[in-house]
Amino acid sequence: MTLLVLWDTEVGRLELTDERSRAYAFRYTHPRRDARAISLALPVREQPFDSAESRPFFEALLPEGVVREQIAHELRLDPMDTYGLLERLGRDCAGALQITPDDAPAVDPDVRWLDGEQLDELVEQLPRRPLGMRAGDRRMRLSLAGVQRKAVLVRDDDGRFGEPLDGMPSTHILKPDPLDSELPGLAVNECFCMRLAARCALLVAPVELIEAADRGCLVVERFDRDRATWPPARVHQEDLCQALGLTPAFKYQHADWRLPSYGALADLLDRHSPQPGVDRLLAARAAVFHFLVGNADAHAKNIALLHLPDGVRLAPLYDVVATDAYPHLGSTLAMAIGDELDPARIGAAHWSDLAHDFGLQPRAFEHVRRALARRTVAEARRLRAEAHAEGWHDPVVDTIVETITARAAQVA
């Protein structure tokens, strides 16, 4: 069986090259010069991309860790069988692509709308229903990378939630607070950091806090969906690992690895963005913001690039969590500032190196980062006061504000 890779129309095919190992190759169907590349690491060409070349992009379309194992168990597949998982789940991936068997019957996208009780039930069953999938329900064919338990849903203009069926583009991600106590206030933590980033003039995916099944839940609007039409239109994107040709196992930078890095991100933006200076500055400010809030998990899969008609642009921030609020997670940075991964050791020389990595003049960037530090402190205090007034404050917010205040001095 061949899997079609669709971007409105067929752009390529995945073909199994070894039944035993489940290795596969990707090839473009119409390798014209003006054809659209699905990844910066997979430029349009006539020759197929072998398994080693194809895996980094397609592997990253699937969930990671325990969530992937659960889904594979439910589908009676080997968790390592990327080809088989994409065959079953590829109708709604991150970005604009849909992956479907070439002999699959045509179906119309649909939604199973949920009332309040049904949404509560979905949240309660999420540990047993990864991504909100129903046991044995072949109409739910969706995939989303990551390790956190979440539900992938459709939301209409009235705020109603529904389960996407038969390839309906999902529009929102719902992340409930975990039931264990290891990450208390996680939904509030991410909501606070995301809203704070927006107040500091960073590009951010819109977020909202709701309650379902007596638990706080963060609702994130997908930036790779255009809700101006119905069904929503897909917008293509890829994460930094995919763009660099790295599998998800390499999403964290290590001292002896050249990739991933902020310098590599800047190079991609220089070569493919229609406004590279704007995007490089946005990315550099985002790196400073992650440091300020204590987000040590800003790895290469949490940085994305949007494929737009005029080129590749930096995508809005997502998955911004102050991980330093949970000491057991560790504080080592996911991406080095300068050549340093220990936040306690970062000083003026490392900030200067970061400026060079992004092609910025260090003295000018010094003013930018100091201004961002002052603004982040001020806005964090205002947002904390609003959280109290609006009833969504959690002790984790106080911890985040303390971290920001301490690190602002280090940035300056």
Catalytic residue annotation: 297
Looking up tokens 């400026």 gives 355
Give the C-alpha separation, 307 to 57, whole Å: 14
Give yes or no for a contact between 161 and 154, defined as CB atoms under 8 angstroms apart: yes
Strands 151-155 and 172-176: antiparallel
Nearest to 311 by CA among 266, 276, 360: 276
Contacts of residue 139, Cβ cutoff 8 Å, sequence gap at least 6: 110, 165, 166
* DSSP 8-state symbol, 340: B
- Determine if the peptide bond prior to 79 is cis (ω within 30°): no
8 CB-contact burial (10 Å; exposed 0-12 / middle 13-18 / buried 19+): exposed
User: Distance of CA 319 to CAs 84, 193, 275, 299, Å?
Assistant: 28, 9, 25, 10
Nearest to 311 by CA among 36, 53, 31, 33: 36
What are residue 143's phi and psi, to 5 degrees? -145, 140
Contacts of residue 271, Cβ cutoff 8 Å, sequence gap at least 6: none
What are residue 186's phi and psi, to 5 degrees? -65, -40
Radius of gyration of the chain (CA): 21
